[in-house]
Amino acid sequence: MTQIPIARAKRLRSTPYTSRIEKQGLTSYTIYNHMLLPAGFEGTLEETYNHLKKDVQVWDVAAERQVEISGEDSAELVQLMTCRDLSKSKDGICYYCPIIDDQAGLINDPIVLRINQNKWWLSIADSDVILFAKGLAIGKNYKVNIIEPNVDIMAVQGPKSFALMEKIFGKTITELKFFGFDYFDFKGTKHLIARSGWSKQGGYEIYVENTESGLELYDYLFDVGKEFNVKPGCPHLIERIESALLSYGNDFDLNDNPLECGFEKFVNLDSDVKFLGKEKLKEIRAIGVSKKLMGVKFNLDKISLAKAIDINVGSKRIGELRSAVYSPTFNQVIGIAMIDKPYFEIDTSVEIKIDNDTKTGTICSIPFI
Amino acid sequence: MTQIPIARAKRLRSTPYTSRIEKQGLTSYTIYNHMLLPAGFEGTLEETYNHLKKDVQVWDVAAERQVEISGEDSAELVQLMTCRDLSKSKDGICYYCPIIDDQAGLINDPIVLRINQNKWWLSIADSDVILFAKGLAIGKNYKVNIIEPNVDIMAVQGPKSFALMEKIFGKTITELKFFGFDYFDFKGTKHLIARSGWSKQGGYEIYVENTESGLELYDYLFDVGKEFNVKPGCPHLIERIESALLSYGNDFDLNDNPLECGFEKFVNLDSDVKFLGKEKLKEIRAIGVSKKLMGVKFNLDKISLAKAIDINVGSKRIGELRSAVYSPTFNQVIGIAMIDKPYFEIDTSVEIKIDNDTKTGTICSIPFI
């Protein structure tokens, strides 16, 4: 695929870290929530993958914007938007929450941070959740305040992230449980830090509200991190597909529902909380889904996917490949595909066409690892 | 500024025309409504500008997505979202409509096409208006259907667009009034065509619903257009700033209201239609705006703007430059800036810093031409 530069403008917002990462070997950008999100750094995809799995990386993921919902009706509004039961949620915990509309179509899949019962942050994937929340709040006359706060996340990811963060924040930060968050001091400034991140390699996300202190911390992470072989990085295509960290807009969107995407764990239809699309989801559960996200493997040594690729069985289109990459772990191409009923069974043999060549693959479960 | 490639993925949607424009000298992309929007073609910016002003260009502006709102409450919902009085609107006409929230913050500035009283298309700028409309509709229990239809606009822009389109669609298309639309036949397929487009050079937008026919038409425009020196193009930075065609996300956003952006003509506070933010706008009108979009001119022969640049008077920050370009017409840099009261007066002398150098400019009215 031809490499085409991105045209810069204010509308494609920079982050506080932009000027730094552009001096650190950045090789490509994507756009996420109207903001620059680094998509590659120097080295082959396999080299940066190996580094992420072995050492530690600092990521500019400011494009994971926050929607802050506060006020006396905030808990009711947040619950209305998600099929996950938040009635027993606790302060200081992150919750992965599919957000759906009244037809159960997926609008986003944020991490919801309950700061307190009357203040929530939705750490969003790539869609304007703030507009959905505003529309609902206005329509329902809720007493809430909805803003995009000035929060620019940097993530510290990889197995050595724990040692690096301990060196800066002390032992207590290693005691933070997975998806817990708390405030930690860096040279006199408190930062909200969660044990989370868009990789399965372990690590933290630092929700930087004080930009100046955040930039000092960014530089400090690279200084202190030398002994851990720290490098700049970004969400990694190989790692995220192997781990089946699904990507909104790539693997699923408004035309898909949570039961089709394997989110059953986060669909609480049998509690008495009130949320949009609940009746629709009950109907779907009763009759079963008509399509499902599955893994696919192909004996190929490369793939380049810029849009969905039709998946066929014989002459029949039975689904589409939505993300794919060559995996060094499996020594073949792996991908995430939406597959129609009844073809979404493991070991089904399927075909795709690449440059007019038919390639055969096999349906499998996800995650791959 | 370093040229950094865009990483391709399904999430940054291709258009039906993508494979064509990539063979036609495309030099850069932007992302708009989660979709690829061409941002430059071969030739200097001044060459493509001169071509647009003299001849005719075909633009892939599929990224101008449609939000279709239909059903018995559709007119009420569309009116609720915009401060423009649509009570006397007519079928077959396009209306430029600022969309605002209950605090009068700008959410988008679409062209609204009234297809009929119960079916509207909002041809949107870069934000997920569909989510705002869905939130409102759900919250208010409106009987509407809200979808993103399969519409991929191509624009034909420039003074020779009329002759080119007449050759394909016959004399009647030249009789279409500005911002009128109708259906026109191309080889047996009807296409909705509006006399509109994101330049002041005249032309049409073809709302392609039948992709196959649209692609045939795309190729045909280039065949037939040879005698008019047709070239591929895209919304043009110089042309749009000179004409002050404002760009959502660049020149204004949720933190600005329509009275600050010079949209008075489209703010109908004295009619009795019901829309969000009406009381807030009445308050603002009564006390006057605290900031305003203005033009600025600088005696510079180039500028590169990737984010807002502070505008100062002495040591005081009094606004920010949001878009800017070197204009061959004025032989200097011109830009669009949000300027605080009381500095938003014509001829006010202001300063910006570029690479630690202070440059002096002058506030002026917009449009420049």
Paired tokens of B257 = 């209201």
- A324: nearest CA in chain B? B9
CA distance B158 to B335: 23
Task: Output the CA angle B70-B72-B78, nearest 5 degrees.
Answer: 55
Q: Could you tell me the pLDDT band of residue A75, with boundaries at 50, 70 and 90?
A: very high
Burial category of B280 from C-beta neighbours within 10 Å (exposed 0-12, middle 13-18, buried 19 and up): middle
Which chain A residues have a beta carbon less than 8 Å from that of B4? Answer: 5-6, 22, 26-29
The alpha-carbon radius of gyration of chain A (Å, integer) is 21
Percent of chain B with pLDDT over 70: 99
One-letter identity of residue B156: V
**A112 has a pLDDT exceeding 90:** yes
CA distance B21 to A349: 35
Q: Could you tell me the pLDDT band of residue B235, with boundaries at 50, 70 and 90?
A: very high
Q: Could you tell me the pLDDT band of residue B324, with boundaries at 50, 70 and 90?
A: very high
pLDDT (0 to 100) of residue A232: 98
CA distance A368 to A213: 39
Evaluate whether A206 touches A215 at the Cβ level (below 8 Å).
no
Q: In Å, how far is A343's CA from the nearest CA of chain B?
A: 22
Closest by Cβ to A39, choosing from B7, B136, B276: B7
Q: At a CB cut-off of 8 Å and minimum separation 6, what does B206 contact?
A: B153, B154, B155, B156, B191, B192, B193, B214, B217
Q: In Å, how far is B244's CA from the nearest CA of chain A?
A: 16
Mean pLDDT, residues A28-37: 98
Percent of chain A with pLDDT over 70: 99
Convert the pLDDT of each residue in A305-330 to its tens digit: 999 999 999 999 999 999 999 999 99
Q: In Å, how far is A256's CA from the nearest CA of chain B?
A: 14
Convert the pLDDT of each residue in B274-302 to its tens digit: 999 999 999 999 999 999 999 999 999 99
Convert the pLDDT of each residue in B60-91 to its tens digit: 999 999 999 999 999 999 999 999 999 999 99
Tell whether pTM > 0.95. yes
- A321: nearest CA in chain B? B10
**CA-to-CA separations, A205 to A157, A180, A219, in angstroms, rounded:** 8, 11, 16
Paired tokens of A123 = 């750490």
Closest by Cβ to A9, choosing from B5, B133, B306: B306
CA distance B330 to B19: 36
Closest by Cβ to A6, choosing from B30, B248, B249: B30
ipTM score: 0.98
List % helix, strand, coil for chain B (3-state, nearest 5).
25, 35, 40
**B1 has a pLDDT exceeding 60:** no
Burial category of B263 from C-beta neighbours within 10 Å (exposed 0-12, middle 13-18, buried 19 and up): buried
pLDDT (0 to 100) of residue B101: 98
Which chain A residues have a beta carbon less than 8 Å from that of B246? Answer: none
| A136–B140 CB contact, under 8 Å | no
- B13: nearest CA in chain A? A307
Closest by Cβ to A29, choosing from B7, B137, B304: B7
| B22–A2 CB contact, under 8 Å | yes
pLDDT (0 to 100) of residue A1: 56
Residue of A283, A335, A277 whose CA lies nearest to A98: A277
Convert the pLDDT of each residue in A248-289 to its tens digit: 999 999 999 999 999 999 999 999 999 999 999 999 999 999
Residue of A364, A111, A54 whose CA lies nearest to A236: A54
pLDDT (0 to 100) of residue A27: 97
Residue of A233, A174, A185 whose CA lies nearest to A210: A185
Hey, of B2, B3, B11, which one would you mutate to test binding to chain A, going by the most A CBs within 10 A of its CB? B11
Which chain A residues have a beta carbon less than 8 Å from that of B130? Answer: 254
Mean pLDDT, residues A25-34: 98
Q: At a CB cut-off of 8 Å and minimum separation 6, what does B165 contact?
A: B156, B173, B174, B193, B204
Convert the pLDDT of each residue in A129-184 to its tens digit: 999 999 999 999 999 999 999 999 999 999 999 999 999 999 999 999 999 999 99
Within B14-73, strands assigned E span 26-32, 35-41, 57-60, 66-70
pLDDT (0 to 100) of residue B119: 98
pLDDT (0 to 100) of residue B346: 98
One-letter identity of residue A172: T
Tell whether the torsion through CA atoms of A128, A132, A137 and A139 is positive or negative. positive
What number of C-beta contacts closer than 8 Å exist between A and B?
173
| B136–A135 CB contact, under 8 Å | yes
Pairing mode of beta strands B66-70, B119-123: antiparallel
CA distance A67 to A252: 21
Which chain A residues have a beta carbon less than 8 Å from that of B135? Answer: 131-139
Which chain A residues have a beta carbon less than 8 Å from that of B30? Answer: 6-7, 9, 11-12
Mean pLDDT, residues B117-141: 98
Q: In Å, how far is A172's CA from the nearest CA of chain B?
A: 38
Averaged pLDDT score across all residues of chain A: 97
Hey, of B1, B21, B136, which one would you mutate to test binding to chain A, going by the most A CBs within 10 A of its CB? B136
| B250–A10 CB contact, under 8 Å | yes
Q: In Å, how far is A140's CA from the nearest CA of chain B?
A: 5
Evaluate whether A27 touches B267 at the Cβ level (below 8 Å).
no
Convert the pLDDT of each residue in B239-256 to its tens digit: 999 999 999 999 999 999
Evaluate whether B35 touches B65 at the Cβ level (below 8 Å).
yes
- B309: nearest CA in chain A? A10
CA distance A25 to A232: 8
Convert the pLDDT of each residue in B211-230 to its tens digit: 999 999 999 999 999 999 99
| B22–A34 CB contact, under 8 Å | no
pLDDT (0 to 100) of residue A174: 96
CA distance B246 to B251: 6
